[in-house]
Amino acid sequence: MKNQYFGDIHDFKKYTLLNWFMKGCNDKLIVAWYLTNDDDSSDGGKKKYLEEKIDKENKEFEKNKHIGICNRELFEFLVKNHQKKNIGVIMEKTNKKYICENGNISFFDKKLDDMDRKEWFNELKQELNKTQCDIVFADPDNGIKFNNEESKKHIKLSEIKELWKMGKSLIVYQHFLMVDHQVLMAGLIYRLYNELKAINKPFVAIVYSSNVAMIFILQQKHKKQFESLKKQLEKCKDLKFLDIFSFNSENIKI
């Protein structure tokens, strides 16, 4: 994650998804950005959607095909603030509601570029203990690194395992490679389930769009939150906003 990405279409999608997932949840969420320095690339520039207008009088999903209708308040907030290119804006007290409307949210925004990786991850775990957050949204640039090689653009499998042993549910941002998405998603679910089941059987499912996904690796107590998320997604299915990959860990027979 980089500050230059703030307000990108993927930000809108992932914060909307977190908002829907956390509705009615009494447990606390931490947003753990795998934050690195900005670069000279054009990444994070998918903001064309912010130029479109929402019909203020139209509140029905099926009558307004603009993606902003999925989360009007977040959309309008990003319209006003995306040019700041600073994730700190969403962390401000009055803005937390755009991710978690009941305010049960914390943030971890220390830069990976400024710290040793083990030190950085230990500080994340300390923050989890301090804030007593049970749900972790991990937001690296690219997603999961299964071979545990050092990469600031990924969350390592070993880190997922450590957080899982702590009893945390995880939601992980995943960027797709140029491969068959269906095969990739099925493989991700299968691999994660098998890596974690010896500790505690997870519920693993994926919500995705054309080139990104959110991987839900949930303790059983948070599975009901995913069911309520599915109902929200159903309301805007005609917008092709995000979709649920039907193969989840409950389909795995071992």
Dist CA 228 CA 234 (whole Å): 10
Q: What is the largest CA-CA distance in the chain?
A: 52
**Kind and range of the H or E element at 30?**
strand 29-33
Asked if the model's pLDDT at residue 70 lies above 80, the reply is yes
- Helices 117-131 and 157-165 cross at an angle (nearest 10°) of 30
pLDDT of 225: 94
What's the mean pLDDT in 58-65?
51
Confidence of residue 253 (pLDDT cuts 50, 70, 90): low
* Contact partners, residue 171, CB within 8 Å, separation at least 6: 17, 18, 21, 135, 136, 137, 138, 214, 215, 216, 217
Dist CA 73 CA 52 (whole Å): 14
Which alpha helices (DSSP H) does 132-166 contain, by range?
157-165
What's the mean pLDDT in 174-184?
77
With CA atoms as reference, report the closest residue to 123 among 110, 105, 142.
110
Tell me the whole-structure pTM to 2 decimals.
0.90
pLDDT of 59: 54
In tens, the pLDDT along 103-120 reads: 889 999 999 888 999 999
Dist CA 203 CA 249 (whole Å): 6
What sign results for the dihedral spanned by CA atoms 74, 85, 120, 172?
A: positive
